Chains A and B, each alone.
Chain A
Amino acid sequence: MTVASQRRSGGYLERPAPSGLADVVEVILDKGLVIDAYVRVSLVGIELLTIDARIVIASVDTYLRFAEATNRLDLYEKGGKDLTEAIGDLQESGAAKKVGGAVKGAKKALTGGDDDEGRRPAKKSSRSRRREEA
């Protein structure tokens, strides 16, 4: 967005600048003031974009992913790599793929799909949204 990425030297708090479509979708999707449907014009093209792409993940696939991630841990041979490398490996090996597939597909349809590689989508907030009385 408008603020450039800044990281204080030696700081641990990262200040990434959302830039890609996936970042923007994550910030805006399902957020903002909801105008009552009865005064809105429904457009197929636009409505598609508001479909909830944040599929709630609670399935056997999810559990298998958790199991896979746990099994991949090499608890006894960790000395050879520093933490950053180990984490990089884990991410590169695509631990998210199993569960990410369906959601990524939805997001891909939604965003045109060219810059959401490597991102994992957010589950929709369970907070109920109050409808605005018009």
Chain B
Amino acid sequence: MSGAVLVADEIDTSTTGVYVYGIVEAGDARVPPGLAGLDDVPVRLVAHGDVAAAVSPVALERPPGRRAEVMAHSRVLEALAETGPVVPVQFGSILGDVDTVTHELLGPEGERWAGLLEALRDRTQLNLRVTYHEDVVLAEVVAEDADVARLRERTRGVPEDVAHGDRVRLGQLVSQVLERKRAQDADMVLGLVLPHVVSYDLRDRGDVDHLLDVALLVDDARRAELEDALEGLAEAMHERARFQLMGPVPPYDFVDGDWWA
């Protein structure tokens, strides 16, 4: 088990599969020395033409998934993202053998992966989460909707089982008004953010305080500009909402669809 490239006869396919972390450009030293994947096994490349899969052999008989596997997957992709563009593969993707990686994953779509890697070059993903200050937005809801205010008065301090129907109705109304406010606020935020990014991917959440969760793909050269814009927005809205920008993370949200084609 040495060298940067994994070859077919190194693994016993009856007991061992090939865990795939992501796709990178072949040719250069894309795997940092000492990078370990699942079970602390070194990460290696299976190359085909211009592209390569970053993989490690993985025992097929194993206990139910553990946190170590999630963390290893994440760690490997972060390390790969630091050395150049990477197409992250979904967590838990295991192929039967090296030939399958070459002929099913890489071979038929080699040009597609090369194009996607080129599109991801010098770009990073940042995850923006905007959450309402819950009591502020709920106070707005009560103030703006007479039915909500009325039902709220009727159900406050009443035992849960007595006013059950009213409480459900109140919750429905609050949910509807929140959806409306959220749509307006999210549109406004997106309108100011999108001019600074290459692409975006909305994520939904079902929480009361949810305003906007969006993955942003940003040119490295424009990150400061985006952060300045977000800082301005966060300041303007700070009484109603909280802005959190996480990352950079590997471009998990930008590997499918046709944003780059």
Contacts and interface: CB of A to CB of B under 8 A. Distances in A.
B91 A49 contact: yes
Contact of B134 (A34, A57, A90, A112): A90
Interface residues of A, number: 76
Interface string B241-261: 011111111001101110000
Nearest to B158: A71
A39 B100 contact: yes
A3 interface: yes
B245 A33 contact: no
A11 B174 CA distance: 32
Interface string B78-112: 10001000011111111110001000110011000
Contacts of B109: 132-134
B107 to A, nearest CB: 9
A32 B244 contact: no
Interface stretch (B26-34, B40-48, B64-72): B64-72
A47 B175 contact: no
A110 B65 contact: yes
Interface in A33-59: 33-36, 39-41, 43-50, 56-58
Contacts, number: 236
A37 B202 CA distance: 25
B104 to A, nearest CB: 4
Interface string B222-257: 000001001100110011001111111100110111
B63 interface: yes
B171 A66 contact: yes
B201 A45 contact: no
B198 interface: no
Contact of A47 (B70, B74, B92, B206): B92
A11 B255 CA distance: 32
Interface in A54-69: 56-58, 60, 62-69
Contacts of A127: 201-202
B36 to A, nearest CB: 16
A24 B242 CA distance: 21
Contact of A16 (B148, B234, B246): B246
A35 B231 contact: no
Interface in B1-43: 17, 20, 22-23
A92 interface: no
11 contacts: A2-B82, A24-B70, A24-B71, A28-B74, A31-B88, A63-B167, A64-B171, A66-B170, A71-B170, A87-B135, A111-B70
Interface of A: 1-3, 8, 11-18, 21, 23-25, 27-36, 39-41, 43-50, 56-58, 60, 62-71, 73, 75, 83, 86-87, 90, 95-96, 99, 110-112, 120-127, 129-130, 132-134
